[in-house]
Amino acid sequence: MQQQTQPVTVGSENDAREHLKRPKNQGGMTPAKGETSTKLKSLSRKPPVSYEATEERLAGGRAQEDLTLPRSKTESASAKATSSDHGANSDTFNYNKFRGCLLKPPLGRDNGKPSDPKTNERREKVKEMMKFAWDNYKRYAWGKNELRPLTRNGHIGNMFGGLRGASIIDSLDTLYIMGLMEEYNDAKEWVQTSLDLNSNGEASLFEVNIRYVGGLLSAYYLTGEELYKSKVMELGEKLLPAFNTPTGIPRGVINLGSGTSWSWGWASAGSSILAEFGTLHLEFVHLSELSRNPIYTEKVMNIRKLLNKIEKPHGLYPNFLSPVSGNWVQHHVSIGGLGDSFYEYLIKSYLMSDKTDGNAKTMYYGALEAIEANLVQKSPGGLTYMAEWRGGILDHKMGHLACFSGGMIGIGADDGAPEKRQHYLDLAAEITHTCHESYTRSATKLGPEAFRFDGGGEATATRLSDRYYILRPEVIESYMYMWRLTHDPKYREWGWEAVEALEQHCRVESGFSGIRDVYTMTASHDNMQQSFFLSETLKYLYLLFSDDDLLPLEDWVFNTEAHPLPIIRKSCLQDEATQDKTVSE
Ligand code: DMJ
C-alpha cells in the first residue's frame, strides 16, 4: 500500500509514506477510545484451526461476538496463558516436519545458479549490487531504518513506531538466498542483540506487518532459527489491539507500547485503508501456524467475511472503509496505491493454503472480473492499462504500484475457469508490457511514479509531481513472475535494462538512491535507499536471473514485501505418519 502520488521532497520526506503519519492529536486521527488502551497481555491456547473451521465459526452467530470482545473480556478469556510464551501452544510447531512437507529444497540444487554463463554473470552483478547497498547501510546507518546515501547517515522515519533496523529485517532473506553469509550473520546477530520490540512509538500496522512480521517469518522458515520465531511471536501479539474496533477492521496506526490505535488523519472520516487491512492475511495465518493459536487467523478471516458480505459498487472494492460502521466511506477504486495488495493477498491466500481456501479464490476472481469490466482499458496506441475509478468516472492514470498486477494476474491464471487461462496470461503479459513501456519512454529507462493515458501522451507522466522513481520493485516483480510462467527471454532482457539504469542513475558513491525525475539525465537524487530496494527490487532481479528451483513457486508465495512464506500443506503437516525428515540442500 502506498498513499497516492506525493511530491518528492528532500531528505526524510522523500518516501511518500512519510506523509502517512501524523502526530495523534493532529489531522483528525480517530482514537479507538477505550478499546485499545491497555496492551493485550496474553493469548488463549487453542488447537490449530483450519480454514473450513474458521469459516464455520464466522458464519455462526457467536463468531462476531467472539471477535469483537471488549478488551477486558479478551483478557480474561486468555488469562490462563502466560505472556512469555506469546500464546504459543505446547503443541509446538515442528520445523523438521514442515521441511519434510516442502516439495523441493528451498534453495534448489545449486542455489539456483543458472547454467548459462551470461545469465550467471547478470545474477552475480545483482548480488554485487546487494552487497554494495548492504555494506553502505552497515557502514553509515547500522541499526537505523534506512540509509541516506548522499549525506551518509541513517534515516528513522515514523512508519515503524520505535522499531529500528527495517533494512536489516527486510534484508535477512535476500542475503541468505544470495549466499552472502557473512552479511547474513551480521544481520542475525543484530536481531539477537539489538532488535528491541518494546517500543512505544506509533507505527503503521501495515508496514510493520509486511516488513517486520514478513521478514522475520521468512527468515525463520528459511533457516529454522528459533530466534526469529520467538521475535515474530512477540511482535505479532503487539499488533492484535489494532483489531479492537466495533467491526474488527483494524485501524491503520498502532502504538506498539500501549496498544492504542488510530485511523490515519488523512483518511476521510476515520476510515481504514483497503490495502492496509487487506494485507495482513498471509502473515497472520502463519502467526497462527507457528503459535498454534487461531486468534490471528480469526482476525483476518473476520476482515474477509465483512468484505465478502458488504455490497460492492459494480463488484468493486473501494479503498476506504469505516472500522466503526463497516461501510465504504468513498467510492475510489484503485489497483495501485490504497488498494493494490488487497487483491494480491486474495490470490496468494488461496495459493498459500495449498488451494484449499476456496473463499479467497472466489473473491479474487470476482474482484478481477469487476476490475476487467470497469478498470482495464486499451489506449489508442494499443497499450493495456488499469485506470482508476472514482465513483464511476475513470481517471486514466496508472501508478507504478499497480504494475505488480501483471505478475499477480499471471500467477492466478491457472486457477480460474480453464477457458480463461490463456486470457489471463495474455492480460498479465499486456500489463507487464505497458509497465515496461513506462520505463522505455523515459530518458533514464526507469519508470515514473505514475503515468497517464490522456492529454496526448501514453504511459508517460504528465505531471511534474509524478516523475520520480524511488527504487520501487513492482515492474521488476512482474518481469520475474512472467519469466517463471513463460520463459520468454524478453523478461530477462527487460530486467537487465533495469539493472543498467539503476547502475547509471541510482548508484551513488555510498549506496543507491531514488531520483526525482526519470525524464532527465542530470540526476537529482532523493538521498534515500529504501528498505524495499534490498527486500524486493534486488531479490526479484536475483530470482529473475536464477533457475526456477530457487524458492520454487510450488512451495512458496511472496508477501507484498517479497518475503517468501511457505505454502501450508495441512494434510502433510497433520499426517502422523509424516516422518521428521529434513531436506538436505
Ligand atoms: C513495498 O513496501 C510493498 O511492495 C508494498 O506493497 C507497496 N510498495 C512498496 C514498494 O513500492
Residue 88 within a domain: no
The tens digit of pLDDT for each residue in 45-85 reads: 333 333 333 333 222 222 222 222 222 223 322 332 334 44
Pocket test for ligand 1, best of 469, 529, 532, 533 (most atoms within 8 A of CB): 532
* Whether the Cβ atoms of residue 406 and residue 359 lie closer than 8 Å to each other: no
- Does an H or E element contain 481, and which? helix 474-486
Catalytic site includes residue 357: no
How open is the CA angle 434-435-440, to the nearest 5 degrees? 90
* 2 assigned to some structural domain: no
**pTM, to two decimals:** 0.87
Is 388 among the residues known to form the active site?
no
pLDDT in tens, 143-163: 999 999 999 999 999 999 999
Q: Catalytic pick from 35, 183, 202, 207?
A: 207
Q: Is 546 in the pocket of ligand 1 (CB under 6 A)?
A: no
Q: Which atom of ligand 1 is nearest to the CA of 344?
A: 6
What was the pLDDT predicted at 5? Answer: 31
More confident residue, 255 or 578: 255
Mean pLDDT, range 413-430, rounded to an integer = 96
Which residues contact residue 238 at a Cβ distance below 8 angstroms, ignoring those fewer than 6 apart? 39, 197, 254, 256, 259
Residue 357 is assigned to a structural domain of this protein: yes
Query: Is there a domain that residue 47 lies in?
Result: yes
Strand partners, 378: 384
Per-residue pLDDT of 530-546, as tens digits, reads: 999 999 999 999 999 99
Nearest ligand 1 atom, CA 211: 2
pLDDT at 48: 34
Per the structure, how many domains does the chain have? 1
pLDDT at 79: 31
- The fraction of the chain above a pLDDT of 70, given in percent, is 83
Is the residue at 18 inside a domain? Answer: no
Q: 259-315: per-residue pLDDT in tens?
A: 999 999 999 889 999 999 999 999 999 999 999 999 999 999 999 999 999 999 999
Is 207 a residue of the active site? yes
Beta partners for 564?
558
Q: Is the pLDDT of residue 427 over 60?
A: yes
Instruction: Give the model's pLDDT for residue 455.
Output: 81
Report residue 576's pLDDT band, with 50, 70 and 90 as the boundaries. Answer: low
Half-sphere exposure of 231 (CA within 13 A, CB side): 27
- Pocket flag, ligand 1, residue 15 (CB < 6 Å): no
Instruction: Return the bridge partners of 146, or none.
Output: 155
- Residue 303 C-alpha cell reads as 476482515
Query: What's the CA-to-centroid distance between 410 and ligand 1, angstroms?
Result: 19
Which H or E run includes 421? helix 421-440
Determine if ligand 1 sits within 6 Å of the CB of residue 209: no
* 189 flagged as catalytic: no
The CATH number of whichever domain residue 233 belongs to comes to 1.50.10.10
User: Residue 173: CB within 6 Å of ligand 1?
Assistant: no
Mean per-residue pLDDT for 402-419?
96
pLDDT at 114: 98
C-beta of residue 253 within 8 angstroms of C-beta of residue 204: yes
- N- to C-terminal Cα separation, the chain: 35
| Dihedrals phi, psi of 530, to nearest 5 degrees | -65, 145
Q: In 3-state terms, what secondary structure has residue 287?
A: helix
Rounded average pLDDT over 6-24? 29
Q: Which of 56-60, 173-177, 442-446 has the lowest mean pLDDT?
A: 56-60
Q: How far is the CA of 74 from the centre of ligand 1 (A)?
A: 33
- Tell me the per-residue pLDDT of 445-454, one tens digit each, with 9 for 90 and over: 999 999 999 9
Residue 470 resides in a domain: yes
Q: What letter does residue 250 receive in the DSSP assignment?
A: P
C-alpha cell at 57: 465459526
C-alpha cell read off for 358: 476456496
In tens, the pLDDT along 518-534 reads 999 998 999 999 999 99
Q: Is 444 annotated as a binding residue?
A: no
Residue identifier of the C-alpha nearest atom 5 of ligand 1: 1
Ligand 1 geometric centre to CA of 561 (Å): 6
Range of the domain at 511: 34-68+101-584
Residue 287, in any domain of the structure: yes
Q: Is the pLDDT of residue 456 over 70?
A: yes
Give a yes or no: residue 6 inside a domain: no
pLDDT at 32 over 50: no
For the Cβ of 569 lying below 6 angstroms from any atom of ligand 1, the answer is no
Ligand 1: which of 403, 474, 530 to mutate, most ligand atoms within 8 Å of CB?
474
Rounded to an integer, what distance in angstroms lies between the CA atom of residue 556 and that of residue 295?
A: 23
Geometric angle at alpha carbon 57, from 54 and 63, rounded to 5°: 120
Kindly state if the Cβ of 160 falls inside 6 Å of ligand 1: no
pLDDT score recorded for residue 575: 73
Taking residues 175-202, report their average pLDDT.
97
The 10s digit of each residue's pLDDT in 348-405 is 999 999 999 999 999 999 999 999 999 999 999 999 999 999 988 999 999 999 999 9
Q: Annotate 139-198 with three-state secondary structure.
A: HHHCCCCEEECCCCEEECCCCECCCCCHHHHHHHHHHHHHCCHHHHHHHHHHHHHHCCCC
Please give the number of the atom of ligand 1 that sits closest to the Cα of 562.
4
Ligand 1 contacts CB of residue 530 (under 6 A): no
Instruction: Say yes or no: CB of residue 558 within 6 Å of ligand 1.
Output: no
pLDDT in tens, 204-220: 999 999 999 999 999 99
CA-to-CA distance for 367 and 205, rounded, in angstroms? 24
